[in-house]
Amino acid sequence: MKSIRIMSHAIFVIFILSLGACCCGQVELDVSPMEKTEQEALYSTIQGFVGNSWNGSDLYPDPCGWTPIQGVSCDLFNGFWYVTVLNIGPIHDNSLVCARNVEFRPQLFELKHLKSLFFFNCFQSQKTFPITIPSENWKKLANTLESLEFRSNPGLIGTIPSSFGVLKNLQSLVILENSLTGEIPPQFGNLIKLKRLVLAENYFIGTIPDIFGGMSELLIFDLSRNLLSGTLPLTLGSLTSALKLDISHNLLQGNVLNEFANLKNLTLLDLRDNKFSGGLALSFQEMYSLEQMVLSNNPLGGDMRTLKWENLQNLVILELSNIGLVGEIPESISELKRLRFLGLNDNNLTGNLSPKLETLPCLNALYLSGNNLTGEVKFSNEFYGKMGRRFGAWNNPNLCYQVGVISTSHVPYGVKPCQKELCY
């Protein structure tokens, strides 16, 4: 019996040891090497941005394996680790934080499988340590790079390199909230795989180049908050897949394009704070998917009744304040059952207010102040209670409310009581 116990124990020990051998073997199989040139290029690239005191070989001897670097992601190619994602800047608590004096080292362009390159809040001082984007070597990343982003870098100055036009596989180009100047390179027309193009909140000047005829896959287009001027290029009407088009806060002028009628998938159109004129374009009523139309602060002019508003059944936000509108508010607006915000203030609108506006089930903000509306406001107490201060009708000298019909707690701000006719 004792010998049987000893034999059983021995078998158990051998079984455990064999499991350990299997585990160790599995660990060995999971460890993949990284090419020395790739590793050295990674370390040098990071040092250029975070400073020479950063010693990657000591801190991260296996940057894609057991000691990964925050902001660096890798994939296996032919049994070797290669960097595919590089994020520079304070994205997370233990991210790679940039030094004050940074540099783009040429080793960046030796990362032969790099797909995504992202700089956030890295280049800080425009006066003390300004930096420009290098114009050379981007061709080395042309076959791999799919996403390139520069966000919130006040110390990033100069122009956009025209050599970005060689990045033929780029799907996302975001240059947001930097201090870049100059014109938009026409070479961007080569980036026909782009799904997102954001060049907002910089100091770009000149006209928007007419280069978008081949960008049928573009979903997000944002050139807002720059110093762009001139008229809209006709090829903007070729962005038939676009969901968002934002060119607000610029110096653009001329008529709104008739070609916008082709943008059947667009959900947001923001043209506010420009110098557009020529009235409300008929192309607006063909944009059936629109959820947000923002045209405020443009000298557009025109009559609201020229459009078939009932076509735009998906509208949630309609912001038409301070665009020089004349005429009456059409009753067809009351057919927009998803509408939540209606801004018509600071125009030259006339006529009576239709009580049908109250029937809009989702409406929670209605601004009509600064017009020439006349007659009695005939909304219910429930409507005023629901809207509160989000109903604005002040500065309409000939608009009034009926005393005794509206509760004193719901009297619309800035609207005078109707005067009773005197009987003799």
Closest by CA to 49, choosing from 137, 144, 141, 150, is 150
Distance CA 408, CA 401 (A): 11
State which residues of the chain have pLDDT below 70.
1-31, 421-424
Residues 6 or more apart in contact with residue 194 via CB below 8 angstroms:
170, 171, 172, 173, 215, 217, 218
Given this model, what pLDDT does residue 91 score?
85
Phi, psi of 279 (to 5 degrees): 85, 180
Distance CA 128, CA 410 (A): 57
Given this model, what pLDDT does residue 99 score?
93
Given this model, what pLDDT does residue 49 score?
96
Closest by CA to 123, choosing from 88, 91, 71, 161, is 88
Given this model, what pLDDT does residue 22 score?
38
pTM of the model: 0.90
Given this model, what pLDDT does residue 406 score?
83
Given this model, what pLDDT does residue 419 score?
83
Q: Where are the alpha helices (DSSP H) in 213-363?
A: none
Q: Is 329 left (phi over 0), alpha (psi -120 to 50) or beta?
A: beta
Given this model, what pLDDT does residue 404 score?
80
